[in-house]
Amino acid sequence: MAFQIKDLFSLLYKTTFDILFYTTVISIIFGLLPDQFFNDFPIIPMKYDNEHFYKGLYGFEWNDHLVSKAKMIAINQVHGPESLADIGDYIYTGILGGRIVRIHKQTEQIDEIVRYNNSKECQHEKLKAGNCGRFLGLREQGDNLYVLEASTGIYRVDLRKGELIHLSKHLIPENESAIINDLVFDPKHSEIVYITVSSSKWSLDRIAWSIVDHDKSGYVLALNLSTGQSHRIADGFALANGIEITADQKYLLICQTTDFSILKVDLDNVRKIFLSKQSALKADQLEIFGQRLPGEVDNIRLDKSTGDLLIGMFTVRPYSKVLRDYLAQWPFIRKSFARTAYALYLLLDYIDAKVISNAAIEQLRDDLYTGHIVYKALPQRDGAVIRLDSKTGHIKQIFGSSKFFGISEAIIDTQGDLYYGSFRNSFIGRISKNDHQS
């Protein structure tokens, strides 16, 4: 009996070793192959610095306020509420399946306002946007709601009729992949809107691979809604994401998700570049607003009642780095891993189409294609909302979580309550005015 147990452990050890060894060898081979073998998967990772994580939370204590102080609303009824807008008695948000819904603040009743694609395939919610669309940035402007769809641009939503009016049919060149992400209106010229394009290399369905890549093809556009003219005002961003204007209306702020920073641009200079069609500014030459932050920054919104700024943060590092942080200086390892995942996707896609199809295979195939397999290696916690001083960019307050990650945005509504959303979770959180100010 003891001999059999010994043989069993020996077999398990050998099998485990063989799997790890051959997987490593295959991954290295994939990493060494010329780029032309992967034209449909153009990952070329770059080195980047994240040593500021060792500074921790700049003296702030980690907490669980997003859980302990919040009421979760619309649980399992809204999936991936990325961005939020406060209009009247409702909070509006874009969710998976290409839908915009509103939630009544008091009754919590949910109404669908509009759907990007009404076809049968888009009647259920899934992480892949595909032809169903995905609404990202939302902004209220007077009584109007403006939204960005990730691949087709900016729309105005007729809230009374439940209709989408497309305002930017030629915003992105036809041959260019793009993740059109967030928007903000110029405070002095209401017809001008500034728009972030997170990547011109990857589509939204593969944004996780953009993060592994540390892709710097993001840029900021200025668009005149009256004339339809647009112009690139800054480029070279490491996943340009949220965009906002400071309380004094002097600066445009752009979040760089994978550089863990917010960049600051003089708004008068931005207008000058747009009006005279000057060359775009370079992200690496712009001033960092405040300090590099302890996690990936997503959307940024002004709290008009205080002048502070609220940012959603994907994963904060309250105590130590996460796995992917240790690979920042090892682009070849990231490339080898990513190409191996892509090869496995191709294999599973073939099996699903030609051999056998089941839900588990489809889920793993989609996770490999989108890169969401990467999220499974991250701690399923440590999302945050961070309040910044609008003048210095320094942290004033942290709202943390021990239960979930992927916080994308937070806003303060007209009653002073704080709402936060997430591109991955299936609820919206609300913290009352008294609780988030204490």
Structure tokens at 423: 């591109």
Model confidence at 62: pLDDT above 90: yes
User: Residue 375 domain-assigned?
Assistant: no
Tell me which residue of 238, 166, 169 sits closest to 207, measured CA to CA: 238
Model confidence at 325: pLDDT above 70: yes
User: Residue 14 domain-assigned?
Assistant: yes
147: CB partners within 8 A, 6+ apart:
94, 100, 135, 136, 137, 138, 139, 154, 155, 157
User: Residue 383 domain-assigned?
Assistant: no
Cβ 103 vs Cβ 71: under 8 Å: no
Model confidence at 10: pLDDT above 80: no
User: Residue 338 domain-assigned?
Assistant: yes
Average pLDDT over residues 309-325: 91
Q: Where are the beta strands (DSSP E) in 117-269?
A: 135-141, 144-149, 153-158, 163-166, 180-185, 192-197, 218-224, 230-237, 240-245, 251-256, 261-266
User: Residue 97 domain-assigned?
Assistant: no
CB atoms within 10 A of CB 248: 10
pLDDT of residue 208: 94
pLDDT band with cut points at 50, 70 and 90 for residue 234: very high
**Higher pLDDT residue, 413 or 4?**
413
User: Residue 400 domain-assigned?
Assistant: no
Q: What is the pLDDT of residues 376-417, one digit of tens each?
A: 878 889 999 999 999 999 999 999 999 999 999 999 999 999
The domain total for the chain is 1
Amino acid at residue number 180: I
**Higher pLDDT residue, 35 or 194?**
194
Model confidence at 375: pLDDT above 90: no
Residue-number span of the structural domain to which 30 is assigned: 2-43+333-370
- The percentage of residues in the chain with a pLDDT greater than 70, rounded to a whole number, is 95
**Higher pLDDT residue, 125 or 357?**
357
CA distance 429 to 81: 10
User: Residue 347 domain-assigned?
Assistant: yes
pLDDT band with cut points at 50, 70 and 90 for residue 319: confident
CA distance 352 to 364: 11
- Report which DSSP code applies to 274: H
Among 126-130, 155-159, 285-289, which stretch is predicted with the lowest mean pLDDT? 126-130
User: Residue 340 domain-assigned?
Assistant: yes
